[in-house]
Amino acid sequence: MIFSKQNDPDGDEGYFTLNVFKNHDKNSKGVKEQKPFADIPPQSPPQEEQPSEDVKDDEEVVEKNEPQCHGNSAESVNRNADPNHTNAHLNFWRRLDNESVTAYQENWKSFMKSDGLPDQPDYQQTRGVVMVAGNRDTFERALTSVKMLRHQDCHLPVEIWHLPDELPSDATVEALNELGAVPRDLSESFLPRPMQYRRDTEKQFQIKAAAIINANFEQVLYLDSDNTPTRNPSFLFETSAFKATGAMFWPDFWKTHTENKIFEVLDISCKDEWEQESGQMVIDKTKSWLPLQLAWYMQEHSDLYFQFLNGDKDTFKYAWKALGVPYYMTETFLGMGGLEVETFCGHTMLQYSDNDEIHPLFVHANLMKITDKNGFMEMQEASNNDNQQQSFHERPWRQIKRYVNSKGVTNLSPGFRVAPGGKACMNFINGAWNEPETVIEEFDEVLPGFQNTYFELGGIGGEAR
């Protein structure tokens, strides 16, 4: 197994090509007959609980010598593993026998070699934005994100995909259409990957890959409904990293535990690296069609794969790894947006581009949306008929906390806590692992006008309780 680390022509580094699964031609012969996936029941935890073709001659090729997650490397990985996911599934990973691992591996490889993979459609448009929405207030949040895109002079067409029982209201459809955005039903039969039903869970993680595959765009900027760009993100399609690989991802706070059997199931190496945060992705479907199918497969079989992976997010990165298809992982580590609750409480992921480590590019309110909005209220002076009156408005983003010089650094220490009042909080620490310095900045100084515009355009902050 070899890998090639390629240099970005602009001087950045970060994308890898992994030659792991060479023979994934769907028309290849001699495929061993496998049991259907459903015949191999996933084991449950106890109740107690990168190019796919050969590397070019002119590329620098080195013997693969990735950390194998032993010793100091394993300690660095496991201290950054998501404790909730690890505690819920560690016993399952430890009890999974070799026969089951082999069967799961053979099943996905057989799937990738089958004649049932859909052909790429004739795309109606080259580039566009893809979102998913439907449950709770997600259509309202998506509408605000579209308004913000238009405010930032981004005119990419937008498709917002939903399950058949999650139709938006007529008023929402009209508002979206006026902005050049259209709701799309995942149950349409002519789609490459139609979805006719919902799972018996609140979060429908399995629809993300299907939405990207089914979209009319050849190149996709995917955004979660609670994720808002701070400026026109169209430039990402023109970056040398995206053009070279066809897939641009962003890091998450966590690493994949060394005892997680996903490495054996997908036949990939454990490595001291950050997981993927899939609230934003840039994908060229022509270059990425096969790994998108494997990501869809893992999401479709979430009863098994979500015991390895914490939701849909890493199904993408690991699909690319398993098939040896190149991708670019943004090297600048994410920051946090939040406020003081005894100490700093980060409720929003802030993702950066590698050419600007100061100004976040995406504001992803992953924890803010489940936090009581009353904790975000702030008194302000308002003028009415020349009389000064006091009023309250929601201001959830007071501060930004980030590591300085975080590019490509793995010795960082993000952590989760529950603050008084039940607030879910993230924070960074430094000192224990020789982490780089952290800095706290005023949100409105780093992103002037963003917060006001977000709420003026109908943005939703915390949860109404």
| Spatial separation of the C-alpha atoms in residues 210 and 132, rounded to whole Å | 10
Which domain covers residue 419, as residue numbers?
A: 335-456
205: confidence class by pLDDT, cuts 50, 70, 90: low
Q: Is residue 251 in a domain?
A: yes
67: confidence class by pLDDT, cuts 50, 70, 90: very low
Segment 410-419 mean pLDDT: 93
Q: Is residue 420 in a domain?
A: yes
- Looking at the structure, tell me whether residues 69 and 94 fall in a common domain: yes
Q: What pLDDT score was predicted for residue 58?
A: 31
Q: Which is more confidently placed, 2 or 229?
A: 229
Q: Is the Cα torsion angle 59, 60, 64, 70 positive or negative in sign? A: negative
Q: What is the 3-state secondary structure (H, E, C) of the chain?
A: CEEEEEECCCCCEEEEEECCCCCCCCCCCCCCCCCCHHHCCCCCCCCCCCCCCCCCCCCCCEECCCCCCCCHHHHHHHCCECHHHHHHHHHHHHHCCHHHHHHHHHHHHHHHHCCCCCCCCCCCEEEEEEEECCCCCHHHHHHHHHHHHHHCCCCCCEEEEECCCCCCCHHHHHHHHHCCEEEEECCCCCCCCCCCCCCCCCCCCCHHHHHHHHCCEEEEEEECCCEEECCCHHHHHHCHHHHHHCEEECECCCECCCCCCHHHHHCCCCCCCCCECCCEEEEEHHHHHHHHHHHHHHHHCHHHHCCCCCCCHHHHHHHHHHHCCCEEECCCCCEEEEEEECEEEEEEEEECECCECCCCCEEECCCHHHCEHHHHEEEEEEEECCEEEEEEEECCCCEEEEECCCCCCCCCEEEEEEEHHHEEEEEEECCCCCCCCEEEEEHHHHCCCHHHHHHHCCCCCCECC
Q: Is residue 50 in a domain?
A: yes
- In this model, does residue 72 exceed pLDDT 50? yes
- Looking at the structure, tell me whether residues 339 and 326 fall in a common domain: no
- Looking at the structure, tell me whether residues 55 and 175 fall in a common domain: yes
Segment 167-181 mean pLDDT: 97
- Looking at the structure, tell me whether residues 59 and 151 fall in a common domain: yes
Q: Is residue 271 in a domain?
A: yes
Q: What pLDDT score was predicted for residue 70?
A: 77
Q: Is residue 461 in a domain?
A: no
Q: Which is more confidently placed, 35 or 276?
A: 276
Residue 138 belongs to a domain with what CATH number?
Answer: 3.90.550
| Spatial separation of the C-alpha atoms in residues 301 and 280, rounded to whole Å | 22
- Looking at the structure, tell me whether residues 393 and 448 fall in a common domain: yes
- In this model, does residue 231 exceed pLDDT 50? yes
Given 330, 347, 377, the domain boundary residue is 330
Instruction: Give the count of domains, the chain.
Output: 2
Given 284, 307, 330, the domain boundary residue is 330
- In this model, does residue 168 exceed pLDDT 60? yes
| Spatial separation of the C-alpha atoms in residues 447 and 417, rounded to whole Å | 26
pTM of the complete model: 0.84
Q: What pLDDT score was predicted for residue 55?
A: 29
- Looking at the structure, tell me whether residues 343 and 362 fall in a common domain: yes
Q: Is residue 326 in a domain?
A: yes
- Looking at the structure, tell me whether residues 45 and 165 fall in a common domain: yes
Per-residue model confidence as pLDDT tens digits over 315-331: 999 999 999 999 999 99
Instruction: Report the share of the chain in percent with pLDDT over 90.
Output: 70
- Looking at the structure, tell me whether residues 357 and 293 fall in a common domain: no
Alpha-carbon distances of 154 from 136, 208, 451, rounded to whole Å: 27, 22, 18
Per-residue model confidence as pLDDT tens digits over 363-386: 999 999 888 888 887 756 555 555
- Looking at the structure, tell me whether residues 1 and 111 fall in a common domain: yes
* Angle made by CA atoms 97, 102, 106, in degrees to the nearest 5: 155
Per-residue model confidence as pLDDT tens digits over 112-153: 999 889 999 999 999 999 999 987 799 999 999 999 999 999
**Residue 311 near residue 203 (C-beta atoms within 8 A):** yes
- Looking at the structure, tell me whether residues 213 and 285 fall in a common domain: yes
Beta bridge partners of 247: 283
Burial of 213 (0-12, 13-18, 19+ CB in 10 A): buried
Per-residue model confidence as pLDDT tens digits over 4-63: 333 333 333 333 333 333 333 333 333 233 333 333 334 333 333 333 333 233 333 223
- Looking at the structure, tell me whether residues 156 and 34 fall in a common domain: yes
- Looking at the structure, tell me whether residues 261 and 296 fall in a common domain: yes
Q: What pLDDT score was predicted for residue 299?
A: 95
Given 330, 345, 367, the domain boundary residue is 330
Q: What pLDDT score was predicted for residue 324?
A: 98
Q: Is residue 462 in a domain?
A: no
Q: Is residue 463 in a domain?
A: no
